[in-house]
Amino acid sequence: MNKMVITGATIVTLLVIMAVCAPLFSSYDYKEQNIAERLQPPSSKHLMGTDEYGRDVFTRMLYGARISMSVGLIAVLIATFIGIILGSISGYFGGVVDNIIMRFVDIVLTIPTLFLILILVVFLGPSIFNIMLIIGLTSWTDIARIMRAEVMSLKKIAFVDAARLIGLRKREIILRHIIPNAVSPIFVYMTFGISGAILIESGLSFLGLGVQPPQPSWGNILTAGKDYIHSAWWMIAYPGFAIFLSVFGFNILGEGLRDYLNPKLKKEDL
């Protein structure tokens, strides 16, 4: 296991633990307002200080992690699912089908993603589920392309021919032989997808189009914080750092996995 994988995996695991076990780490309620204690700097009572309503920032950060992690994961699962299916069909069948799907990919790519997301959010409403769906529906193109390339090369490989000799139907060949061998690089892109999704969600929440108050998200903690940059640095520093750390963690995990998975395919003969 190389260092990047270990670093990335450690960071990701920590974040997931904090998200999942949020109630264990803090006894505060993220909604609980306490105007008397608003805008307090970090102390032993409030590890990351309080926000403009006196709510404990640390607690809100923990519950915000839940949003980031789950949006990241589910959006990517949706994108991967769509990408694998379209990429496999395109790569395996080739010809007209491949052309149609790839032109569709090109069209999706010409649309500026951020604006598409904004428009969809405005129309469909900013619920967490909608955000997951929208991010998933707009970020499958990379995965589709990679899948298509892998499938195209696997199509020619001997054990796929062997499957044809046994009389397996096309569907069975794709599911049993091609997809399992094509997915290694997909794992790498999934990690990048998660970090991307976290950034998009944070951005949406920052713009007020994401998670709605009082539900906390790193993005909307930042929004509130921007009005108090000079007086309450903790409301910007902590969510900012958390976003940075999670994106860094997933990215470096992805990079490490990419290096780790590749040489394994080569076998050395003495």
Partner 1 sequence: MALLLVKNLKKIFKVERLFKETKDFVVAVDDVSFYLEKGRVLAVVGESGSGKTTLARCIAGLEDYEGEILYKGKKLEFKDKNIRRQIQYVFQDTYNSLNPRMKIKDILAEPLYFHFKMQSEKLNEKVIKYLEDVGLKEDVLNKYSYELSGGQRQRIVIARALTMEPELIIADEPVSSLDVSIQAQILKLFYDLNKKGLTIIFITHDLRTVKSIADEIIIMRQGKIVERGKVCEIYKKPENDYTKKLLEAVIG
| Residue at token pair 């589709």 | 144
Residue 122 or 162: the one with the smaller Cβ distance to partner 1 is 162
Residue 1 or 165: the one with the smaller Cβ distance to partner 1 is 165
Single-letter residue type at 219? G
Task: Kindly write out the interface string for residues 171-210 of this chain, putting x where it contacts partner 1 by CB under 8 A and - elsewhere.
Answer: -x---xx--xx-----------------------------
Report which of 152, 167, 30, 171 is spatially closest to residue 101, judged by C-alpha positions.
Answer: 152
CB of 97: closest distance to partner 1 in angstroms? 18
CB of 182: closest distance to partner 1 in angstroms? 11
Q: What's the Cα-to-Cα distance from 108 to each of 113, 116, 176, rounded to whole Å?
A: 8, 10, 29
Report which of 88, 87, 257 is spatially closest to residue 184, judged by C-alpha positions.
Answer: 257
Residue 125 or 180: the one with the smaller Cβ distance to partner 1 is 180
Report which of 134, 19, 139 is spatially closest to residue 69, judged by C-alpha positions.
Answer: 19
Residue 180 or 208: the one with the smaller Cβ distance to partner 1 is 180
Residue 55 or 177: the one with the smaller Cβ distance to partner 1 is 177
| Buried b / exposed e along 77-89 (16+ C-beta atoms within 10 A) | ebbbebbbbbbbb
CB of 186: closest distance to partner 1 in angstroms? 14
Report which of 203, 85, 197, 214 is spatially closest to residue 133, judged by C-alpha positions.
Answer: 197
Peptide bond into 214 cis (omega under 30): yes
- Give the interface size with partner 1 as a residue count (CB under 8 A): 17
| Residue at token pair 């491949």 | 98
Residue 21 or 162: the one with the smaller Cβ distance to partner 1 is 162
> Which of helix, strand or coil describes residue 157?
coil
Site for partner 1 in 144-173 (CB under 8 A): 157-159, 161-168, 172
CB of 221: closest distance to partner 1 in angstroms? 44
CB of 160: closest distance to partner 1 in angstroms? 9
* Contact status, residue 151 vs residue 182, Cβ threshold 8 Å: yes
* Residue 55 in tokens: 């709510």
CB of 174: closest distance to partner 1 in angstroms? 13
Residue 161 or 227: the one with the smaller Cβ distance to partner 1 is 161
Residues 6+ away with beta carbon under 8 Å from 170: 92
CB of 145: closest distance to partner 1 in angstroms? 18
Between CA 140 and CA 79 the distance in angstroms is: 4
Binding residues for partner 1, rule: CB under 8 A, are: 157-159, 161-168, 172, 176-177, 180-181, 267
